[in-house]
Amino acid sequence: MHQPMRPSGPLTSGRQIDAAQAGLGIGVAVLGVGIAALLARGTRPAPRPDAPLPATRDALHHAADLVAGSWHRSPSEVATTRAGRRLNRAAGLLAFSVLADSAIEHYRGSFANKAMFTPLVVSTATLATSLHGLRDRSAGAHRLRDGVYLTAAVTGLVGTGFHLYNVLKRPGRLDWQNLFYGAPLGAPNAIMLSGLLGAVAERVRDTEPGRRPRVLGIPAGRMMAAVTAIGLIGTMGEAALLHFRGAYHNPFMVLPVTLPPVAAVLMAREAIGPKRENRRFARWWLRLTAAMGFAGSGFHVYGVSRNMGGWRNWRQTVLDGPPIPAPPSFTGLALAGLGALALLEDHPDA
């Protein structure tokens, strides 16, 4: 009687992450740090009126600010520069989400099209540029940052075309099967939004003292609110499609399709509605949306652990499980909305 053959290694199927790919990820991270360092060489450090915090406490303060959407105001920093740095922060978080998500998803697709490397390079440059802008307290637009952000916006637009082609070339074209399992149509919008937010940040920074901040002739605060509202609706649409594919088996899966639409309506009201004095409810709802983005990554980590092999088989389950880097896109957009509210308070006519 023949004995069944036993595998010598763990049972796996499909594509896995190997040491070479992990090395590629580390290399991309080093590239991002290098770009940030090169950009930082031309930045003049602004005078700090207060004594600097120790490194650990300073990092904790920035982490708390990121979640709460608050900001330490420097007396020497003008409102438009402060608003620009807030937008740099939001653009950077979106770029980080795109970098991690596209690296995983495009690797799963074996980088069949060499253009699939483009979002990794562009999002790395956008992340480094945003970190530079976040550190830069000087007024005025930065030519290199401007160019990187505009490149990111164009990349997102072109990427949407590639993803649409990927869906339409399949049998059945625009049907549920292809929408569920083809290239996600809404994914490239994240890098496009990152570029748009960064470009708006540079326009706001470039406002001359005593003038109202405007973008394309539109008050900058209202423009920021409109971009945030549109971005929230688009990101919510992608989450709704993928969570519908998952049959909403976890009740918390309804949060990304219930909290962001309310935030989008609040931002749309700021964009096209009359001036308002009390924005407390909108601010707290955006903070709730930002927290939901971080919590969503935790739920996705749990979702990965539920796959066969769990985290012991992480090289496969990370590829096949829910995308861990995707939910912070909501956080980045919520932070952009908080920046819009702050600019509207600093400049009521903005």
| Res. 139 pLDDT band, cuts 50 70 90 | confident
Calculate the CA 136 to chain-centre distance: 20
Q: What is the mean pLDDT of the chain?
A: 81
Mean pLDDT value of segment 47-76: 45
Q: For residue 19, which phi and psi values (nearest 5 degrees)?
A: -65, -35
Percent of the chain whose pLDDT exceeds 90: 52
> Closest Cα partner for 92 from 347, 336, 290?
336
The pair of structure tokens assigned to 137 is 């307290």
Mean pLDDT value of segment 53-71: 46
Render pLDDT for 241-282 as a digit per residue (tens, 0 to 9).
Answer: 999 999 999 999 999 999 999 999 999 999 998 877 788 999
> Do the Cβ atoms of 42 and 137 come closer than 8 Å?
no
Q: Which residue has the higher pLDDT, 134 or 349?
A: 134
Domain segments of the chain as ranges: 77-346
| Res. 42 pLDDT band, cuts 50 70 90 | very low
pLDDT of residue 63: 45
What value, to the nearest 5°, has the Cα angle with vertex 154 and ends 151 and 159?
120
Mean pLDDT value of segment 234-245: 94
User: What count of other Cβ atoms lies within 10 Å of the Cβ of residue 151?
Assistant: 18
Render pLDDT for 140-166 as a digit per residue (tens, 0 to 9).
Answer: 888 899 999 999 999 999 999 999 999
> Do the Cβ atoms of 208 and 331 come closer than 8 Å?
no
Reported for 307-310, long-range contacts at CB under 8 A and 24+ positions apart, including other chains, are 308/11, 309/10, 309/11, 309/12
**Helices within the chain (DSSP H only):** 19-40, 55-68, 79-108, 118-135, 143-168, 176-181, 188-205, 220-245, 259-272, 280-305, 314-320, 328-346
Whether 60 has a pLDDT exceeding 80, the answer reads no
Distance CA 324, CA 9 (A): 26
Whether 232 has a pLDDT exceeding 80, the answer reads yes
Task: Mean pLDDT check: name the lowest of 30-34, 258-262, 336-340.
Answer: 30-34
> Do the Cβ atoms of 169 and 140 come closer than 8 Å?
no
Task: Mean pLDDT check: name the lowest of 22-36, 229-243, 300-314.
Answer: 22-36
| Res. 79 pLDDT band, cuts 50 70 90 | confident
Task: Mean pLDDT check: name the lowest of 35-44, 89-98, 125-134, 223-232.
Answer: 35-44
The secondary structure of residue 111, as a DSSP letter, is: T
Render pLDDT for 293-334 as a digit per residue (tens, 0 to 9).
Answer: 999 999 999 999 998 888 888 888 888 889 999 999 999 999
pLDDT of residue 241: 94
Mean pLDDT value of segment 28-40: 47
Distance CA 317, CA 309 (A): 8
Q: Which residue has the higher pLDDT, 12 or 93?
A: 93
Q: Model pTM?
A: 0.76
